[in-house]
Structure 1
Amino acid sequence: MKTLISTLLFGMTAASLIGCGSGDAGGEASEEAEGETVELVAATINPSDSLLARSLTAFADEVENQSDGAIEFTVHTGGQAGDASSLYQSVITGDIDVIYSDPDWFAEHNPEFNVLGTNYLFEDQEHFESVVNESDKLSYFEDLLVEDPGLKTVMYAGGLERNIISTFPIESIEDLEGQDMRSGGSSTEMEWWKNLGANPSTIDFSEVYTAIQTGVVDGSQNSLDAMIEQRFGEVADYVARTQHELTLGFVVMNNERYESLDSELQEAIQTASEEVQAEYISKAFEQAEEDMETLESEFGVEFTEPDREEFIERSRVQMEEIAEEQGIEEEVEDIFVK
């Protein structure tokens, strides 16, 4: 596996990193010359030691292995090739070949993806794995991406659970009534907080620690590993294990680039996906217990176990409303109703 070389060593800029990609979106896709090594670029904003970044790196390694070195990957992590927005645009244009992305970005071209930003899509690990590991279960959404903006889904990643961290204990949904909670920029998350009775405030992720510390907000919803990485446990004492989201992430490839590969190389990508996806999604569920122990031992965080039934009921109203608005009630029921 090639690794990202220090920008100080070569004086490279972020733009030049992106320029390592395979090229010109306006050009016609063409199959690689026989015997020529195919060089691909993959990128994510996730830190190199995070599970999501490691899953992308493992995928790239396994593609190289399955192709007997006919494909070589350069993997950029930690946002070194651009922020989430620029990575998304770069994989569409073909300047980057593969990225890990949250489904929220795909709603820009296909508003149907807003339903994937709602909570309690999955009941548990078994349900999650039955959806992502079953071939064609998410084909409706995959087909939308191929059609517009031209992205091929090559692997799913995720399985990390998201919970609510706060300066006050949450024993029931009523404890959120009137509380000021941090939200990301999506309207879907803002509406979710309102449905729970909270007052959401849009705050950049990099400012969450200070916002909680200074009392601008009383809490946030995040994955357990993010709470550890960002040290939120230093400014908030409680985590309600709502498990409202099991992260569903897409590893997508520029479809023209994918179609330019011969069938053997496409098969290598598919085989690598099957092996790495199952392994790293399983790791994500195993990591939850480890992260809980870290938050308790290192930060003194106290976990609460609120009754999830009312959380689920209020959250799924949002899922149903978006599905109805987009006319995809049958697709959503088929995929997510166990």
Structure 2
Amino acid sequence: MLKFKRSMMPALACAIMLGAGPAKAETLRLGDFQSTTHIVSVEGTTRWMKAVEEATKGEITFEHFPSEQATKAAALLDAVNHGILDAALIGTIYHGESLPMNSVVGLPGFYGSAVTGTAALQAMLADGPLREELLESGVVPIFGFVLPPYQVLAKKRLGGPADWSNLNIRTAGSTQAMTARSLGAVGVSIPGPEVYTAVETGRLDGILFPLASVPGYNLQEVVTHISRNGSFGGYSFVMVVHRDRFEGLPEAVRTAMLEAGKDVAAHVAKAQDDSIEDLAGKWTGQGIDVYEFTEDELAAQRSAMADVSADWLTRIGRGEETAKAVLEQYRMLTSD
């Protein structure tokens, strides 16, 4: 039966500094930034580790460092590249400089569910610029999935752009910051684990966040209004393994990791979508205003955000043909 070791980073760092030998070939050190109760961990990371252990009959086990125990969310890719970790579930938007094309998922107005967005991401990670970026960064993408479309959470009801003017809104990465700006707000990039305190202390006026992830950070405790039918961009997670480490594993093990990844990607996407209805009901019962934008508000938002994709091509993609091809493929794969 799979046994996860959850130790703190100082012990790991100490072992490395003391010159301890490398981890056994069958043990992978895996880090992420979600708590073990977060839906992404329960239905994604932990499920994948168990599936790999079972498929390899114990040939592969994991030493798991959740909740930023190994390093901060924005440093996970570096941790893998520097040998602190063998694998990590990274939020690609936190690595915009290394993975600019992967930030396409942050654009507003595309996929309407995690299932649709995940199918598109998996296709783009199998072949093309998104995959090449990761390989060039020293890691192999095993599987990827997205969060449900971002909604807005705040202490007042936000509708059309006039309601957003000059508000400090939490965003995830530069692409989503463009979305906030297009609505008249100021995008403030803060990792998920730090958002609760930022809202509580008044540093943030609102949050762009996927509803399925709200309970993982208890954000429902610090807001009074939550939208349901907005489309303020997305967020992608990718499970990566150090390229040399992965290529050094037996072929059967590599195959098992990839096959388990396909199943888990589809599973965690559906689990997130399915959770939203129950969450909305619970929040309403707690006195939170869980609301839908009116057609006029949606039209005003779409109009305001219309240029975000063009801005992404210019600022992130630098107008290059690769960026244009990525955007067109993403648009095609996420269209209903």
Aligned amino acid, residue 327 of structure 2: V
Please state how far the C-alpha of 1:208 moved relative to its aligned partner: 4.2
Contact 2:114 2:146 in 1 (8 A): no
2:305 — aligned with what?
315
Q: Secondary structure at the match of 1:160?
A: coil
Pairing of 1:169-184 with structure 2 (within 5 A) = 169-176=157-164, 178-184=165-171
2: CA distance, partners of 1:216 / 1:118: 24
Going from structure 1 to structure 2, the CA distance change for 1:48 and 1:59 (only over 3 Å counts) comes to same
1:43 paired residue among 28, 31, 34 = 31
Contact 1:171 1:305 in 2 (8 A): no
Instruction: Give CA deviations for 1:126-151 in whole Å, capped at 9, x if unaligned.
Output: 5324313447566320112112x111
5+ residue gaps in structure 1?
A: 25-31
Contact 1:133 1:278 in 2 (8 A): no
2:292 — aligned with what?
305
Going from structure 1 to structure 2, the CA distance change for 1:125 and 1:211 (only over 3 Å counts) comes to closer
Please state how far the C-alpha of 1:93 moved relative to its aligned partner: 2.2
Contact 1:115 1:323 in 2 (8 A): no
Instruction: Give CA deviations for 1:152-186 in whole Å, capped at 9, x if unaligned.
Output: 1001133334211112212433322x241233474
* Greater Cα shift, 275-284 or 314-323: 314-323
Q: TM-score, normalised by structure 2?
A: 0.82
Pairs aligned (count): 321
Instruction: Give CA deviations for 1:245-280 in whole Å, capped at 9, x if unaligned.
Output: 343211111111111112111111111112211111
2:330 is equivalent to residue 335 of structure 1:
yes
1:220 — aligned with what?
207
Contact 1:161 1:288 in 2 (8 A): no
1:82 — aligned with what?
71
1:95 paired residue among 73, 84, 87 = 84
Going from structure 1 to structure 2, the CA distance change for 1:292 and 1:185 (only over 3 Å counts) comes to closer
2:98 paired residue among 109, 121, 143 = 109
Q: Secondary structure at the match of 1:108?
A: coil
1:284 paired residue among 272, 282, 298 = 272
1: CA distance, partners of 2:5 / 2:62: 10
2:177 is equivalent to residue 190 of structure 1:
yes
* Greater Cα shift, 200-209 or 251-260: 200-209
Going from structure 1 to structure 2, the CA distance change for 1:292 and 1:323 (only over 3 Å counts) comes to same
Q: TM-score, normalised by structure 1?
A: 0.82
Please state how far the C-alpha of 1:190 moved relative to its aligned partner: 3.0
1: CA distance, partners of 2:90 / 2:254: 21
Pairing of 1:110-259 with structure 2 (within 5 A) = 110-125=99-114, 127-134=116-123, 139-147=128-136, 149-176=137-164, 178-184=165-171, 186-201=173-188, 208-209=195-196, 211-213=198-200, 215-241=202-228, 242-259=230-247
Contact 1:121 1:245 in 2 (8 A): yes
Contact 2:112 2:148 in 1 (8 A): no
1: CA distance, partners of 2:153 / 2:46: 29
Please state how far the C-alpha of 1:116 moved relative to its aligned partner: 3.2
1:70 paired residue among 56, 59, 67 = 59
2: CA distance, partners of 1:186 / 1:282: 24
Please state how far the C-alpha of 1:211 moved relative to its aligned partner: 4.7
1: CA distance, partners of 2:100 / 2:146: 21
Contact 1:18 1:81 in 2 (8 A): no
2: CA distance, partners of 1:69 / 1:116: 35
5+ residue gaps in structure 2?
A: none
Going from structure 1 to structure 2, the CA distance change for 1:135 and 1:76 (only over 3 Å counts) comes to same
RMSD between aligned residues: 3.1
1: CA distance, partners of 2:110 / 2:313: 12
Instruction: Give CA deviations for 1:302-338 in whole Å, capped at 9, x if unaligned.
Output: 1221143443443352223322524111221122232
